[in-house]
Each structure stands twice: as structure tokens, then as C-alpha cells.
């Protein structure tokens, strides 16, 4: 993706790329729809058009945003100023994750307590809540036990802890960062390296050692934007290749024949020794087909011309507003999605109920983003600076004294 920049020697002063906010906002909408299984609108999200879904897009764009926001502070080398900002953000993510997990537990508990929705205790890793409550609570606090649909922020938190080193390496040696990231992804897949669960066996659903590759591609893209250039140049053959892969995968995931026969083909490759994360569709280890789908989509959407003009249209400002306030909107959407799951469990309903859940939940998220846009900390600081500037401009200059006039005449 290319930013709108004013070329200057050295560092480039960039103008906010509206596509980042737009696509982040779209990802938030689709994540919300996907997190209420069984509703009509989950069939309209990008996961029905290929191997990757909104989660990959969100992590990729988070990498871009991290490079743009924190890259300048690390440009002179690893330092506490840049590192503390990234680690402070990671701590905020932990607190937000705790809040969403607590609300998820409370909503499920209320659904069971008051409406007899015991089925919710059999899904989304809630069973341990009844069989080992002390281990469950230890796991929640230590991130060893992550509830279904409330498990992406811990992975993102780990990525931010790694980000100072990744950003600095990317500034000094972009190819070195890419090689290191690909190597870590491959080693994690080959040896099944993951952070451990507790008290249940296994590892994290979003494996940070694999997903760091998605984040790294975002970082490299953002670092290139800071320099006023594209990470990957526009080439006709690359456009055809990326577009062809997107079309093929869109047909693949919606064709029973291709799912059966191509699926058998990837299974056969694994029998011949090709690693599962290369010839498979595993989300935990971010398999190669998913990664290629994401990169192809990002490349096509980054092309100059039509997409930047569409992203800047006034009609899409609500989506850009969501993207500007992604963390509070995501947290709110997560809690509302768990509430939506409870409603669907108690009363499956139909299209009308699905519409009420989706559009009602989105309305709350848009309202939150609007309020933060108008009255949030950044808005208040901007208003204060504007008022101070206006006051300074309106203050008349002091009248010249006779001594000053004499000196001027001399």
C-alpha cells in the first residue's frame, strides 16, 4: 500500500492513508458478524471468498499502523521511549482482554442462570469453567486459557512485545526481518512450537510464533510507507497472479467439487511429507494458502487509482471512523457478539432477529466511535490546541513605544 506523501530528504512526513482506517473498519464489521455463528450475515464476509478472513486483515493492518505510529521513535535505535510506548500498548491490550473475558463469562453465566442455556457451557472452551473452576480462573488471568471468540488480543499483545525488535530490524535490514520472520514461522510449524494452554492441553488458537509473519508483512509495508514508496512495486504479471489466486480461491471455497478433489490433493501432499502448514489450511499456524490469499488481497487493494478514491469518499466516513477507534470498538463488538450468541442459543430466531442483532450491535459500535471522535482524548486535545492557536492569533501586538519608534527611525 502507498501513503500520500510529500517527498523530502530523509524521513517522509506522511498524510494519513484513509484506506487503512477503511479496511480496519470493514474488518471490524466482518469480525462482529462472524462472531455470532448461525446468523444470515456471516455468509457475506470475506471468509466466504477465500482462505483468509478478517482476522488476518486486522493483524496485517495493525502491523502497518504500528510501523507508522512507533517507527519514528525507534529510527535512532532501540530506546526506552519507543519500546515503552509499544509495551504500554501491550499492557492496555491485556487489560482490555481481561475486561472482555470477564464480560463473556458473566453473559454466559447469566444465560445459564436465568434462561437455562446450558448448551453454552459446552462450546468456546467454557466446559472447564464447570469441571475445573480454579484452573479456569488461573488460566484466564495468565492467558493460558482463552475463550472462543475472545482470543485474538493475547496474540496481538505478544506481537507488540516483539515489535520494538522487529521494527528496528526492519529499519536496518528489511530483507533480514523478512528472512527471520519466515524462518520463525517455518520452525514453529515444523516443530509445532506454540505458547501453552492451562489447564487444558494444547496451545494458543492464534499462535504468535506463526502469526508474527502476518504482522511482519504489515510492519514492512508501514515502514515503506514512511519512506514514501511501495513495499512491492506494481507489475502487470503480479496483478494477474494475485487476481487469479483470489478468483481461484473464491471458486474453491464455494465449489463442492473443488473442495473434495483439491482437498484430497492437499491431503495427498501431506502424505508425501509436505508440511501441514504449507499444504493445508490451518489457522493456528497460519498456513501458506491462507497467507497467500491475504497477501494477494492486500496487493490488489493497494493498487493506485480507484481504491484510494473510493476510500476517501464521504459516504464511507462511518467505516473509517470505526477503524480510527479500532480497540474500543473491537472490545465492545466482542462483548456484544457473546451476548448475540446467548440470544441465538436461547432463541434461534430467523432473519429478522439476525438483522436486529447485527445492525443493533453495529449501531452501538458506530455510536461509540462517533463519541470518541467528538469527545475522546484526541478530540479534546485537538480542540484545546485549536483554541490556543486562535487566542494567540487574536491577541493584538503591543503598541510601539516612543523609544521603539525613535530606534526604528534611526
Give the pLDDT of residue 378.
77
On the question of pLDDT at 395 being above 70, the answer is no
- Helix (H, G, I), strand (E, B), or coil: what is residue 203? strand
Q: Which residues pair with 15 in a beta bridge?
A: 4
On the question of pLDDT at 239 being above 50, the answer is yes
CA dist., res. 324 & res. 21, Å (int):
6
**pLDDT band at residue 404 using 50, 70 and 90 as cut-offs:** very low
On the question of pLDDT at 12 being above 70, the answer is no
Q: Which residues contact 259 (CB under 8 A, 6 or more apart)?
A: 252, 253
On the question of pLDDT at 385 being above 90, the answer is no
Are 14 and 317 in contact, with CB atoms under 8 Å apart?
no
Query: Using one digit for the tens of pLDDT, what is the confidence trace for 340-354?
Result: 999 999 999 999 999
**pLDDT band at residue 382 using 50, 70 and 90 as cut-offs:** confident
Q: Among residues 54, 56, 51, which one has the least CA distance to residue 250? A: 51
Query: Using one digit for the tens of pLDDT, what is the confidence trace for 154-172?
Result: 999 999 999 999 999 999 9
Give the pLDDT of residue 2.
42
Q: Among residues 154, 109, 138, which one has the least CA distance to residue 338? A: 109
On the question of pLDDT at 406 being above 80, the answer is no
**pLDDT band at residue 15 using 50, 70 and 90 as cut-offs:** low
Task: Give the start-to-end residue ranges of the domains of the chain.
Answer: 4-389
**pLDDT band at residue 408 using 50, 70 and 90 as cut-offs:** very low
- Helix (H, G, I), strand (E, B), or coil: what is residue 61? helix
Work out the angle at residue 189's Cα, subtended by the Cα atoms of residues 186 and 191, and round it to the nearest 5 degrees. 105
Sign of CA dihedral 364, 366, 372, 374: negative
Q: Say which residue, 17 or 399, is predicted with more confidence.
A: 17
CA dist., res. 157 & res. 90, Å (int):
5
Question: What is the pLDDT averaged over residues 113-137?
Answer: 96
Give the pLDDT of residue 63.
96
Q: Which residues contact 103 (CB under 8 A, 6 or more apart)?
A: 335, 338
Q: Say which residue, 396 or 272, is predicted with more confidence.
A: 272
On the question of pLDDT at 389 being above 50, the answer is yes
On the question of pLDDT at 397 being above 70, the answer is no
Q: What is the pTM of this model?
A: 0.89
CA distances to 1, 20, 311, 378, 381 from 302, rounded to whole Å, are: 4, 10, 11, 28, 32
Angle between helices 208-226 and 174-190 (to 10 degrees): 170
On the question of pLDDT at 25 being above 80, the answer is yes
Return mean pLDDT, the chain: 91
Amino acid at each position: 500500500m502507498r501513503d500520500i506523501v510529500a517527498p523530502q530528504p530523509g524521513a517522509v512526513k506522511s498524510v494519513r492513508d484513509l484506506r487503512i482506517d477503511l479496511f480496519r473498519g470493514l474488518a471490524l464489521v466482518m469480525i462482529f458478524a462472524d462472531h455470532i455463528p448461525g446468523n444470515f450475515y456471516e455468509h457475506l464476509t470475506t471468509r466466504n471468498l477465500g482462505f483468509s478472513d478478517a482476522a488476518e486483515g486486522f493483524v496485517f493492518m495493525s502491523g502497518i499502523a504500528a510501523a507508522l505510529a512507533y517507527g519514528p521513535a525507534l529510527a535512532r535505535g532501540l530506546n526506552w521511549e519507543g519500546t515503552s510506548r509499544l509495551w504500554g500498548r501491550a499492557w492496555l491490550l491485556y487489560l482490555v482482554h481481561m475486561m472482555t473475558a470477564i464480560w463473556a463469562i458473566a453473559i454466559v453465566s447469566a444465560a445459564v442462570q436465568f434462561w437455562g442455556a446450558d448448551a453454552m457451557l459446552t462450546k468456546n472452551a467454557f466446559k472447564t469453567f464447570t469441571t475445573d473452576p480454579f484452573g479456569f480462573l488461573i488460566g484466564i488471568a495468565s492467558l493460558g486459557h482463552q475463550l472462543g471468540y475472545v482470543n485474538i488480543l493475547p496474540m496481538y499483545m505478544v506481537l507488540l512485545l516483539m515489535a520494538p525488535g522487529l521494527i528496528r530490524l526492519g529499519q536496518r535490514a528489511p530483507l533480514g526481518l523478512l528472512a527471520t520472520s519466515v524462518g520463525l514461522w517455518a520452525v514453529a510449524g515444523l516443530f509445532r512450537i506454540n505458547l501453552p494452554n492451562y489447564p487444558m492441553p494444547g496451545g494458543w488458537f492464534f499462535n504468535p510464533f506463526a502469526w508474527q509473519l502476518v504482522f511482519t508483512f504489515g510492519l514492512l509495508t508501514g515502514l515503506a510507507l514512511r519512506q514514501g514508496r511501495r513495499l512491492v512495486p506494481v507489475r502487470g504479471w503480479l496483478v494477474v497472479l494475485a487476481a487469479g489466486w483470489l478468483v481461484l480461491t473464491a471458486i474453491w471455497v464455494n465449489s463442492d467439487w473443488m473442495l473434495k478433489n483439491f482437498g484430497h490433493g492437499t491431503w495427498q501432499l501431506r502424505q508425501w511429507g509436505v508440511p501441514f502448514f504449507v499444504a493445508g489450511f490451518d489457522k493456528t499456524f497460519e498456513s501458506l494458502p491462507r497467507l497467500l490469499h491475504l497477501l494477494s488481497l492486500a496487493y490488489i487493494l493497494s493498487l493506485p487509482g480507484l481504491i484510494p478514491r473510493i476510500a476517501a469518499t464521504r459516504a464511507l466516513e462511518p467505516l473509517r471512523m470505526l477503524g480510527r477507534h479500532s480497540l474500543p470498538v473491537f472490545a465492545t463488538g466482542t462483548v456484544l457478539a457473546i451476548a448475540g450468541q446467548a440470544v441465538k442459543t436461547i432463541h434461534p430466531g430467523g432473519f429478522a432477529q439476525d438483522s436486529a442483532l447485527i445492525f443493533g450491535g453495529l449501531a452501538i459500535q458506530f455510536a461509540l466511535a462517533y463519541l470518541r471522535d467528538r469527545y475522546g482524548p484526541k478530540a479534546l486535545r485537538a480542540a484545546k490546541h485549536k483554541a490556543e492557536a486562535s487566542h494567540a492569533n487574536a491577541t493584538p501586538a503591543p503598541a510601539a513605544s516612543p523609544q521603539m519608534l525613535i530606534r526604528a527611525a534611526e
